[in-house]
Amino acid sequence: KDLKVWCYTDKRSRKYQQIMANPNVGVADRNLQLEGTAVLKGHPLDDENSDFIEAYKTNQPENFERTSNRQFKRSRPEFRVIEIYPKRITLLKMGSRFEENEAYILDVVNEKAYRFQGNSNFESKAYQEYY
């Protein structure tokens, strides 16, 4: 929602402790990378997290049923929501042997989008200058 990304974790976890010390985070999944700032929120069932609960129910109903029955109970106060505000989102598209690689970057802070192409793992001068 509004480019926010949510996840949840146990407040006893190393991840939670690291975010308390430094809210700058990176998240990667396959060819998608996200860099942003994390905000530690309360228990998943707290009113402040109603958007998280609704999005979770809607987009991952099976996972929601499984986790809500085990981890989201009020008797499990150790679980917390993490809200991430992206600063940069990168999608990498690896071409085949005969196609160029492509990188799509959304620079949220500066409200700009970029597209880079190259045959050698994004070693183009423009891509390197961006990073």
Q: Widest CA span of the chain, in angstroms? A: 56
Looking at residue 34, its pLDDT comes to 95
The pLDDT of residue 121 is above 60: no
Question: How high is the mean pLDDT of the chain?
Answer: 88
For the chain, percent of residues with pLDDT exceeding 70:
88
10 Å Cβ neighbour count for 119? 13
Give backbone dihedrals phi and psi of 101, rounded to 5 degrees, phi first. -75, 155
pTM above 0.75, yes or no: yes
For the chain, percent of residues with pLDDT exceeding 90:
61
pLDDT digits (tens, 9 = 90+) for 23-61: 999 999 889 999 999 999 999 999 999 999 999 999 999
Alpha carbon separation from 55 to 14, 71, 122 (Å, rounded): 25, 17, 34
AA identity, residue 85: Y
